[in-house]
């Protein structure tokens, strides 16, 4: 049997040299991807989302490099990660956005209402659990309004003011995602901002119909602020949730209990 050919590239980069995505493009071209007939054909790209600082996983920008090459060859690339999620949902018996909603993003380059709607319908058709993330722009809000009327649930995201948050609720979007981390880093009062959104929703009967997802949470304090204000959901990294469980006095209390336990006289 003929030995397989193995192609590799040095992951180290130098100033003004090729970055890793460019090296990846050169690598797959050298390996012979150009010999594959992709013209006008759909090409699946298996996507494994990476971990920060861990290059043994495929990062999104690496996948983009592969996508660019496939397009150069006339192919129609698509990622299969969302298909994997849809299959897992079925395997676990979690069908239906009411039971297990999953927010899925469409191409962020889209800024036309009709194009957003077309992309959203294509993705939502993969699973009834998929809730389509739409940016809070004029075109995005218009797209979300029509999608909701046609039964495609939406999550209007990149919301940074109470004024923006009104429109998704009026349109009947399932979720609205006001961001906190970026605003607080800019010195803004995020606690009042979320409270204002909750109050507006309660004033006009939107509360509970359009659920408020506090996004880009960076600290346990922000989780508390959102909970006190009455937000429905928070999204953040695992490390923030872990920090929210910790407290110095809890550790001190455990050590006190241990000391008492160890020094208790028993028969």
Least Cα distance to 222 among 190, 193, 192, 196 occurs for 190
Tell me what the pLDDT averaged over the chain comes to. Answer: 89
Q: Render pLDDT for 129-160 as a digit per residue (tens, 0 to 9).
A: 999 999 999 999 999 999 999 999 999 999 99
Strands (E) in the chain, as ranges, are 42-45, 76-79, 102-105, 130-135, 154-159, 175-178, 211-217, 233-236
Which helix (H) or strand (E) segment holds residue 24: the answer is helix 20-30
183 assigned to active site: no
Cα 26 from Cα 3, distance rounded (Å) = 22
> What is the per-residue pLDDT for 49?
46
* Three-state secondary structure call for residue 5: coil
Question: Mean pLDDT throughout 79-105?
Answer: 88
Q: Are 64 and 21 in contact (CB under 8 A)?
A: yes
Q: Are 41 and 75 in contact (CB under 8 A)?
A: yes
Find the catalytic residue in 23, 25, 133, 195.
133
Helix axes 162-171, 138-149, angle to 10 degrees: 20
Q: What are 155's strand-pairing partners? A: 133, 175
The listed range with the strongest mean pLDDT (23-32, 61-70, 169-178) is: 169-178
Q: Render pLDDT for 94-109 as a digit per residue (tens, 0 to 9).
A: 999 999 999 998 888 8
CA atoms within 13 Å, Cβ hemisphere of 238: 2
> What is the per-residue pLDDT for 13?
66
Least Cα distance to 177 among 210, 230, 145, 213 occurs for 213
**What tokens does 52 get?**
């920060």
**What tokens does 40 get?**
């006008």
Q: Tell me the DSSP string of 62-117.
A: HHHHHHHHHHHTT-EEEE-HHHHHHHHHHHTT--STTTS-EEEE--TT---HHHHH
Asked whether the whole model's pTM tops 0.75, one would answer: no
DSSP letter (8 states) at residue 207: B
> What is the per-residue pLDDT for 57?
52
Q: How many residues does the chain have?
A: 267
> What is the per-residue pLDDT for 51?
43
What is the sign, positive or negative, of the torsion defined by CA atoms of 167, 169, 175, 181? positive
């Amino acid at each position: 049997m003929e030995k397989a050919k193995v192609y590799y590239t040095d992951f180290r980069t130098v100033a003004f040299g090729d970055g890793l995505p460019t090296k990846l493009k050169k690598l797959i071209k050298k390996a012979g991807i150009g010999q594959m007939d992709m013209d006008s054909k759909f090409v699946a790209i298996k996507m494994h989302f990476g971990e920060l600082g861990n290059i043994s996983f495929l990062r999104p920008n690496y996948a983009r490099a592969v996508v660019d090459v496939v397009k150069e060859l006339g192919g129609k690339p698509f990622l299969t990660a969302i298909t994997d999620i849809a299959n897992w949902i079925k395997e676990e018996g979690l069908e239906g956005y009411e039971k297990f909603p999953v927010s899925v993003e469409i191409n962020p380059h889209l800024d036309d209402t009709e194009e957003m709607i077309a992309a959203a319908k294509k993705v939502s058709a993969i699973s009834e659990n998929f809730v389509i993330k739409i940016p809070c722009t004029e075109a995005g809000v218009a797209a979300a309004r029509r999608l909701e009327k046609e039964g495609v649930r939406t999550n209007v995201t990149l919301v940074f003011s109470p004024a923006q948050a009104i429109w998704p609720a009026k349109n009947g979007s399932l979720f609205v995602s006001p961001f906190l981390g970026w605003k607080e880093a800019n010195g803004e009062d995020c606690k009042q901002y979320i409270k204002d959104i909750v109050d507006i929703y309660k004033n006009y009967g939107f509360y509970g119909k359009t659920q408020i997802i506090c996004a880009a949470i960076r600290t346990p304090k922000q989780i508390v602020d959102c909970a006190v204000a009455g937000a429905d959901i928070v999204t953040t990294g695992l490390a923030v949730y872990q920090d929210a469980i910790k407290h110095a006095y809890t550790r001190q209390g455990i050590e006190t209990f241990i000391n008492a336990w160890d020094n208790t006289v028993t028969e």
